[in-house]
Amino acid sequence: MKWLLLLGFIVCVHNAEGQQNIHNNFSISGYIKGLDSGWLYLNYIPIPNEKGILDSCKIKNGHFQFKGKIQEPMLSNLTTFNFQEKVDPLNIAQFYLEASKMQIQVEYNHFKKILVSGSFTDKDYRDYIRLKSDNFKLLNLITDSIISYREKIRSAEKSKISENIFDSMHKKINQLEAKRNLEFNNGINIDKTFITFHKNSILSAILLYNFKNEWISLTEIRHLFNQLSNKIKLTSVGKKIEKKITMALNDQLIPAKLFTAIQRNGDTIHLSDFKYKYILLDFNASWCIPCRQIIPKLKKLYEKYNDKLVILSISNQTDKKDWIKAIQEDKISWPCILENDENPILSPIGQSITKMYGIQTFPSLILINDDLKVVGWYGNFYQSKQDFLLELKNKLRYSFGY
């Protein structure tokens, strides 16, 4: 997977109060070099979380125009093809569309060099990409190396090679995974700095919502969110962050997402089978050192509350051999589930437990009560590495009375 800017909620607002368009109208006047005639297409979402629009216009002597309305500015696509045609990667550009008069210049077969004026958020977007450029490049290089080693392992499995060579390649993958995690941290620090200095940009809210692969304490999330301007907090993505924080604080219980899967001994597990007990979902991976470091503490909680608590470990990773080895080394006695393309869960079809629960980093723990309601979120977005086990321990003590 290539590491690109993750903008899951494509919404944006102006950075300048005085230039806000109260009627939500936008206009684009543009010029495409190297293409005098034909069609251009603009794909955008006028209302956040609703259906998108694919607009089109004729190119006349290289010039084109678009007009429309949007409720909030957003990341949009400009292409020479509609999405029923074959995708042409050379002629697709992303930019932030705003309710303003915008000017765009592109060159045929070089759309990535798009020049945009009149969109304050697009300027933020370009600045952010420049800030993260080295980080993205290094993540791509590391990821490519990991993929290469995994392909070597698959090829080696078909031939007879020594166990030492296998172990050496697995060790190299673990080293690369650790290096990638470190680079994730560097990227998150860049994001934090960007948010701090762009409090009136919706891009900051998007970054805040999409934090991944880093221990971010709930206190820090709330601090960064509170720094955003009121205007940004009231956007669709701002409201989603607020809702996520509320969920993290356990101010409202939500139903657990049910699933059916095969555990390591071949038995079928239905989450609903464990109703009337508390369930702790432990999201981990064999290569994740912090995941394995917390196992002894989870064992103590499991022994203490064995008649009231069930632990299910869920590993979303490709290497089954490493998964089994980690379970054996850590002497885990509770049910363990491996999910990947070759080992999908039985229900819901086409889903993964990790994605169903929005897990973005390992380790992450989710506590479900005896009425199948989520009552605790630990790790991931919700608590820092230092405090989340203590929070879990206190929650169980409060729930069980000892």
Average pLDDT over residues 174-201: 89
pLDDT of residue 163: 74
For the stretch 302-326, pLDDT in tens is 999 989 999 999 999 988 999 999 9
DSSP, res 340: B
Q: What are the tens digits of pLDDT across the range 257-267?
A: 999 999 999 99
Give the range among 96-110, 212-226, 356-370 with minimum mean pLDDT: 212-226
Q: What is the pLDDT of residue 8?
A: 34
What integer is the mean pLDDT of 172-192?
86
Per the CB < 8 A criterion, the answer to whether 6 and 210 are in contact is yes
Spatial separation of the C-alpha atoms in residues 148 and 52, rounded to whole Å: 38
Q: Which residues 6+ apart lie within 8 Å of 31 measured at CB?
A: 62, 63, 64, 104, 105, 106
Q: What is the pLDDT of residue 287?
A: 87
CA 181 to chain CA mean position, Å: 14
Asked if 285 contacts 315 with a C-beta cutoff of 8 angstroms, the reply is yes
Whole-number pLDDT of residue 400:
85
pLDDT (0 to 100) of residue 387:
58
pLDDT band at 7 (very low <50, low <70, confident <90, very high): very low
Q: What is the mean pLDDT of the chain?
A: 85
Flag whether pLDDT at 16 surpasses 50.
no
Q: What average pLDDT does the segment 244-251 reach?
A: 69
pLDDT band at 4 (very low <50, low <70, confident <90, very high): very low
> Where do we find the tokens 């560097």?
186
pLDDT value, residue 345: 92
* Residue-range domains of the chain with CATH: 17-121 (2.60.40.1120), 127-248 (no CATH), 254-400 (3.40.30.10)
b/e 114-152 (16+ beta carbons within 10 angstroms → b): bebebbbbbbbbbebeeebeebbebbeebbebbeebeee
Residue 344's contacts (CB-CB under 8 Å, 6 or more residues apart) are 350, 352
The answer on pLDDT for 102 being more than 50 is yes
Given this model, what pLDDT does residue 17 score? 33
- Above 70 in pLDDT, residue 299? yes
Within 13 Å and on the Cβ side, how many CA atoms surround 347? 9
pLDDT of residue 42: 96
User: What pLDDT is recorded for position 140?
Assistant: 92
